Amino acid sequence: MKRTRGFTLIELAIVLVIITILIGGLAMPLSAQIQARRIAETKKILEEAREAILGFAMTNNGSSATNRRLPCPDIEGDGTESLGNLGTRCASSRGFLPWVDLGVANQDAWGNRLRYEVDRDLADPNKGFATAVSTAFPALTICQTHSCGVTVATDLAFVLISHGPNGWGALNINGKTLAPPSGDDEKDNVVDDNDLIYVSRSATKADATDGEFDDLLVWLSYYQLVAKVCPTGSDCAP
Ligand SMILES: [Ca+2]
Ligand SMILES: [Ca+2]
Ligand SMILES: [Ca+2]
Residue pair 169/177 in contact by the 8 Å Cβ criterion = yes
pLDDT value at residue 238: 81
**Whose atoms come closest to the Cα of 215: which ligand?**
2
Confidence bin at 5 (pLDDT 50/70/90): confident
pLDDT value at residue 1: 54
CA of residue 105 to ligand 2 center, whole Å = 19
CA of residue 97 to ligand 1 center, whole Å = 9
pLDDT value at residue 87: 64
Cα angle 182, 177, 164 (rounded to 5 degrees) comes to 60
Check: pTM over 0.85? Answer yes or no.
yes
Give me the amino acid identity at 33: Q
- Sorted by sequence, the CB contacts under 8 Å of residue 238 that are 6+ apart come out as 130, 131, 132
The rounded distance, in Å, linking the Cα atoms of 221 and 127 is 18
**Whose atoms come closest to the Cα of 169: which ligand?**
2
CA of residue 148 to ligand 3 center, whole Å = 10
Percent of the chain with pLDDT over 90: 73
Lowest mean pLDDT among 69-78, 187-196, 227-236: 187-196
Lowest mean pLDDT among 3-12, 151-160, 166-175: 3-12
Report, as an integer, the average pLDDT of 208-219: 95
How confident is the model over 187-213, as pLDDT tens digits? 999 976 778 999 999 999 999 989 999
- Sorted by sequence, the CB contacts under 8 Å of residue 141 that are 6+ apart come out as 148, 151, 153, 154, 156, 196, 197, 198
CA of residue 185 to ligand 1 center, whole Å = 28
Residue 50 pLDDT > 90: yes
Residue pair 159/198 in contact by the 8 Å Cβ criterion = yes
